Structure 1
Amino acid sequence: MRIGELAARTGLSRDAVRFYERLGLVSGRRLENGYRDFPEETVTWLHYVRTAQSLGFTLAEIRRHGEELLDAPDSAEALSALFADKIRVIDTRMAELAALRAELSERVDTGCPLRAGAG
C-alpha cells in the first residue's frame, strides 16, 4: 500500500510514517515510479508502535526490541519481561523525583532557595 493509504489507516500523517521509516521502524520497497509500497502488516505494526509509545516506551526501545518481539515464540512472555523492566525504570525515576521534590520543599521560604541549608 502507498504511504497515503498507510497514513489514513493508522491515523498518522505521511510525515510521521516517513519519520518512522527514517528511524528504521518501518520499511517499504520503492516502486519504479519512486512511490513507497508498504506491506499490509505495517498497519498492525504501527498500531503496536503507537501503543508502546503511549505506555512510555521510547522509539529507540521499540526499535531495539521490536524484531525480537515479532520473532519471539511467546511474545506475551517477552512483553511481560519488557513491562517489568519499564516498571523498574519508572519506580527509580519516581524515587528520584520524590527526592527532588523534598529537596525543593526544604528550600521554600529560606531566603535564598539556591543555597543549601539557607535559613
Structure 2
Amino acid sequence: MRIGEIAAATGISHDTLRFYEKRGLLRARRSANGYRDYPPEAVDWLRYIRLAQTLGFTLAEIEADLPLLAAPDAAAPQLRAALQRKLTEIDRRIDGLQSLRGELARRLGDPMQACPLRDGAT
C-alpha cells in the first residue's frame, strides 16, 4: 500500500505516518521510484497504535511494549498487566486532581481572604 492508501484507510495523516516510520513504529519498503510501500497488515497495526493512544498509552510506552503489541493474542497476560498498570496510574492522577480541586475550592470559598494565593490562605 502506498502512503495515500494507508492514510485513507486509517484516517492518519501522511506526516503522522512518516513520523511513526521515523520512530520505528511502522516499516515501509521503498519501491524503485522511492515511494513507500506498506504491507497490508500495517492498517491493523496502526489502528492498534491509535487505540492504545486513546486508552492513554504514550508512543514511548507503545514503543517499549512493541513486541507485546506485535502478537497481542500470544501476549494477552502481559497486555492485561500493562492495562492494569495504566488503570492504576490513571486512578493516581484522578486522586491527585481531586486533591488539587479541593484545595482550589477551599481557597475560593473564603470570602474574607482578599487574595486566595496569599500565605494566609494556606
TM-score, structure 1 as length reference: 0.89
* Structure 1 pair 72–48 and aligned structure 2 pair: CA distance change class (3 A): closer
Match of 1:4 in 2: 4
Q: Deviations over 1:77-109 (max 9, x none)?
A: 121111100011001111111111111111113
Shift of 1:61: 1.0
- Amino acid aligned to 2:65: H
Count, aligned residues: 119
C-alpha RMSD of the superposition: 1.8
Give the stretch that moved more between structures: 104-113 or 49-58. 104-113
C-alpha distance in 1, partners of 2:15/2:72? Answer: 30
Residue equivalent to 1:102: 102
Deviation, 1:118, is 2.5
Q: Which residue of 1 aligns with 2:69?
A: 69
Identity of matched residues, %: 51
Taking the TM superposition and a 5 Å limit, the aligned residue runs for 1:36-75 are 36-71=36-71, 74-75=74-75
Which range is displaced more, 18-27 or 93-102? 18-27
Check the 8 A contact 2:3/2:38 in 1, yes or no: yes
Using the alignment, how far apart are the partners of 2:71 and 2:48 within structure 1?
15
Map of 1:113 onto structure 2: 116
> CA separation in 2, counterparts of 1:32 and 1:38?
14
Alignment TM-score, normalising by the size of structure 2: 0.87
In 2, the alpha carbon distance for the partners of 1:80 and 1:115 equals 46
Where in structure 1 are there 5+ consecutive unaligned residues? none
Q: Once the two structures are superposed, what CA deviation does each residue of 1:43-101 show, in whole Å capped at 9, x if it has no partner?
A: 11001011111111111111111223324673221211111000110011111111111
Q: Would you say the 8 A contact 1:2–1:36 is kept in 2? A: yes
- In structure 1, C-alpha distance between the alignment counterparts of 2:83 and 2:59, rounded to whole Å: 15
